[in-house]
Each structure stands twice: as structure tokens, then as C-alpha cells.
Amino acid sequence: MLPRVIARRACSYPTLLISLRHGVRRFAPLAPSASAAAAHSVEKVDVPGTIPVRGDKKMPGEAPVELRDMKLGFIGWGAMAQAVSLGILRQGLTVPDRVMATDIEPQILEAARREGLQISTSNEELVKWADIIVVAVKPQVVEPVVRDIARHWKEGKVLVSICAGVTIATYLQGLGAGAKVVRVMPNTPCLVGEAATAYAGSSFCKENDLELVHGMFEAVGGATHRVPEYLLNAVTGLSGSGPAYVYMLIQAMSDAGVHGGLPRKVATSLAAQTVLGAARMVTETGQHPALLKEAVTSPAGTTIAGVRTLERHGFNSAIIEAVEAARARSEALSAEPDFLFEPKPRSSVSSTSDI
């Protein structure tokens, strides 16, 4: 079944209702080398010790350890929220009637209803009902939303924010210093189940809270990492903005193919698959990218001629500077997120986020 497109007002990327029931094809990873295995063992420090699974047992009176034991609410059900919620359902981490969504667009709520989700036009109703609340609205309307829900906030609820540039402190100011808040930075490949995500939690979050959030976003991507909040601006520059850099690379490679005589469709297909295949070589072999580059680069061959040209034109430096510029911009927006926007009227339900 092809993804269904939901018509709605323009935003920075198309809002898609992704039908994720059939999943994304995955293949058995290549056997990593001993050095790669050692590298993986070091990098696992930022991953929770366990991801809650349906087979775990709980002692009487013990807090829930599975997402299906919790009620999950989405304030705003735009592209990111759709991908995350439907990805969670696809993975069997919960069931539709334990998920609620709010949105200002009637057609979006109707789409959520068709997926079996509970719907509402009231953020206050959602917050009273849900145990985990995902805030997926535009950054400039976060503060009005927090004011609306603050009087209904109860101890033990977890707020998950996927709003770009909005700090944990912003939520704590509205909900209280003891609130459980997890700030998450996914990226747009979340829409096809290939997100790269990093997250950080407030000091009152328990390990199980963070494990639940980790599992939620691992359902829509293979790279999910816990980091200190101060590093989320670097994450934004790298993986949050990174898809744009990769699209530019694919476009440039496609243009080069056309210049060499290939039809546009063929050139774009080859360029995109080259990037996809190279990325999988990195993730599935565990080899350092430099070693994989060397494996393609034979003496006096075509690849080293191309690499020499890229180095002459500062390819590595340009990528590093682009990521750093985006990181610095994210830091500035975190300090003053609203300067580009006119004040918005207070509303009980806010529009969906364009991360």
C-alpha cells in the first residue's frame, strides 16, 4: 500500500500519513570485525541497559515498564508525530486505543481516527488522560501550550518534546522544577522509519522513563542515543540538519551524471542508491569511513582522482563548517526562539511542528 498524502497548509516539508503497518525491510548485518565489535561496546554507554519488551513481568505495585501500560498523547499530529505514533503501533509497542492525538486541522484528526487513535480538540483533555505527552507543535507556540496544560499537570507524567530549539528549562518553568521532561531531536527520515535521534531528560526522569522514550524513537530509526542536553545543538547541526546536506550531495552527483550523458532519472537513482549503500556499509560493517574509502581507492585509479578534486575544493572543511554553522544557529534559537515570528493568539490546540 502506498503512503497516503494528507492535504493541509504548506509547511517546511510535506505532511504525510505514513502507513507503517508493513514495516521497512531490513537485512541481516554483516559480521563486524573484532575492532568494530570493540568500538560498538564502547559506544553502547549512551543506550539504556534494556528496552522494555512485552514479555517482561512486573511485581505487584511496581511501576509500569512497558509502553502498552501507559497512555500516550500527541499534542499536534503532523508529519513527525504521525511517523512516531504509527511506528510505535507497527512495532507492537502499544495499541491504538491507548494513543490520543490533538490537532487544529479536522482532516488530520479524521486521519488519526481512521488509524484507530482517540482524538480530541482539547489539549487539557489529552493531558488529563495521558501518562506520556508528546509535544509536537511549532516552537513559537510551545509557551502558550504549556500554560494551557500546566494546571492539569500531575506528578509522574512524562512530557516528551520534539520541538526544535525548545530547552528542557522552558518546560520546567511552566510545569515546575520537578517535572519529567525529555527533549528529543529526531530528523525527517523518521517519516520512512530511518530516523537518527538523540534525547536528554530532566533530572527527575527515572531510568524507566528514559527507556520508554528510547524505545519509542527506536521504533522509527536505527540510531537512537542519549546525550547531555548541551550536546543537542550539535545533534541538530549534524543529524537534524544533515539530511539537507545529503540531498545536496545527491543532487550534485545526479547533475554530474547528467553532464556525463546519463538520463536524469537514471543519474538520480544511481546517486541515491550510492549514498544509501555507502551508509549501510558504515553502519553494518562497523568499519571507520576512512577505511571503507581506502577500500574503494586504488592506486592511480578513478576514485583517487575524484577524491583529490574534492580535497582541493575543501570538501571536508565545507561539511564541518556547515555542521558547525547549524549548531551555532540552533544554540542561538534555543536562547531566542521567537524572534522571527509574530505573537500568536493563545489557543487550546496548536498547529503541528516543522522541525
Q: Domain for residue 148, yes or no?
A: yes
Listed in order, strand segments (DSSP E) in 38-142 are 72-75, 99-102, 118-120, 132-135
Q: Give yes or no: residues 184 and 309 share one domain.
A: no
Angle between helices 142-150 and 168-175 (to 10 degrees): 30
Question: What would the 3-class secondary structure string for 60-87 be?
Answer: CCCCCCCHHHCCEEEECCCHHHHHHHHH
Q: Give yes or no: residues 162 and 292 share one domain.
A: no
> At residue 307, what are phi and psi to the nearest 5 degrees?
-60, -40
Q: Give yes or no: residues 268 and 217 share one domain.
A: no
Q: Domain for residue 337, yes or no?
A: no
Q: Give yes or no: residues 122 and 81 share one domain.
A: yes
Q: Give yes or no: residues 10 and 140 share one domain.
A: yes
What pLDDT shows up at residue 215? 93
Cα-to-chain-centroid distance, residue 46:
17
What is the separation, in whole angstroms, between the first and last Cα of the chain? 27
Give residue-wise pLDDT tens across range 317-342.
Answer: 999 999 999 999 988 888 775 544 55
The predicted model scores a pTM of: 0.77
Q: Give yes or no: residues 253 and 190 share one domain.
A: no
Q: Give yes or no: residues 202 and 220 share one domain.
A: yes
Q: Give yes or no: residues 141 and 163 share one domain.
A: yes
Where does residue 25 fall: left (phi above 0), alpha (psi -120 to 50 degrees), or beta otherwise? beta
What pLDDT shows up at residue 351? 43
Question: Per this entry, what is the length of the chain?
Answer: 355
168/203 Cα distance (integer angstroms): 10
User: From the first residue on, what is the mean pLDDT of each consecutive set of 10 residues in the chain (355 residues)?
Assistant: 37 40 40 42 41 40 72 95 92 93 95 96 96 93 93 95 92 95 94 94 95 93 95 95 97 98 98 97 96 96 97 97 95 69 47 44
Cα-to-chain-centroid distance, residue 155:
26
Q: Give yes or no: residues 122 and 100 share one domain.
A: yes
Assess contact for 198 and 239: CB atoms under 8 A.
Answer: yes
Domain harbouring 278, CATH code: 1.10.3730.10
**How many structural domains is the chain composed of?**
2
What pLDDT shows up at residue 140? 85
Cα-to-chain-centroid distance, residue 121:
25
Q: Domain for residue 216, yes or no?
A: yes
Give residue-wise pLDDT tens across range 211-262.
Answer: 999 999 999 998 999 999 999 999 999 999 999 999 999 999 999 999 999 9
Residues sharing a CB contact under 8 Å with residue 40, sequence separation 6 or more, in sequence order? 32, 286
**What range defines the domain where residue 308 resides?**
242-313
156/154 Cα distance (integer angstroms): 6
Q: Give yes or no: residues 105 and 152 share one domain.
A: yes
